[in-house]
Amino acid sequence: MKNNFNAIDLFAGCGGLSKGFMDAGFNIIVGVDNDQAALDTFVKNHDGAVAVKADLSLQETFDKIKEIAGERQIDVIIAGPPCQGFSLTGPRNFDDERNKLYLAVIEMVKQYKPKAFIIENVPGMATLYKGQIKDEILKRFKKMGYNIDCKILCAADYGVPQIRKRLIFMGIREDIGEPKFPEAMFTPETYRTCRDAISDLPDLKNGIGSDESEYSQEPITEYQKLMRGNCTVLHNHLGTNHTQMVKDTIALVPEGGNYKDLPPGWGESRKFHMAWTRLNGNAPARTVDTGHRNLFHYEYNRIPTVRESARMQSFPDDFIFMGTKTQQSRQVGNAVPPLLGQALGESILKIISGDGK
């Protein structure tokens, strides 16, 4: 169901957050990013939205967005700007050049005065410099006429089979209402698991699959049915041809284990926190990575395929990833899970349509 509210996605990547907003009923007009492969994926999956490869710190990018929007009102801005600069500059140098991308989002809200906005970031930003960066962001938006709040949300609470936490800033224009975060829909006892997510997908034991293939069985769980929808072709389910050493090493790691479970002399090349981690099939996934080959399937001696990672991120099967397999893995790992985005979109929709006052 489409409504009459329009949204733009800044630092869109492949568009996980905006896919969620689209499923909540928003019209996605524009996605901006500097990664062409991610933008190719964005365009393929966002119903006529325009992708813009551009630098958001430049006024010409603002002008380009305005040109594409035309007469349409931009009701909501969603964004996931990088915040690395803040860790270097500190709260006193908030306006430092290294923070220009975050500042561009603030400027975009200032110019367009949308009814609402969502900014997502890593949880660590909430406590950076004892919370001073977070407080400065809140202060600036309040000064611009927005009621704003922030909260760390866990994707598993909203039906995503993955423990992934994000810091979410929600701003509502003060003439419209107050921010209200979505209620959790799942509890640790009812969280969806890795098996719930991917146990129906071909095991690839007899080969490494392909970018387009067939399902080998019917969906088993409610979540698998949800992810399949009406999809009849399986996309992006391509395995990785690991070396024998990698296969022999991960074969020694039990389900839910990691490098600490290896016998002496095995896996010496990787000893950092996430090395040789095997998923626990009966629990939500650890945070899906960008394809660094540290996270392995709960049963098979390989890393998850792009499609398996996408399932654990809550991308439906008809969401097709473009680019090389490496680029696809990066897109999936960097994305906001669409089901989390949908929960946020539905909350904002209630507020700006007057249903949530």
Return the biggest CA–CA distance within the chain.
66
| 263 burial via Cβ count (<10 Å: 0-12, 13-18, 19+) | exposed
For 345, the token pair is 């979109």
Q: Measuring CA to CA, which residue among 139, 148, 145 is closest to residue 112?
A: 145
Give the whole-angstrom CA distance, residue 332 versus residue 38.
9
> What residue spans of 199-299 are helical by DSSP H?
222-228, 244-250
- Per the CB < 8 A criterion, the answer to whether 38 and 326 are in contact is no
Which residues are catalytically annotated? 83
For 277, the token pair is 């981690």
Q: Taking phi first (over 0 means left), then psi (-120 to 50 degrees means alpha), and beta for anything else, what does residue 204 get?
A: left
Give the residues across from 6 on adjacent strands: 27
- Per the CB < 8 A criterion, the answer to whether 169 and 17 are in contact is no
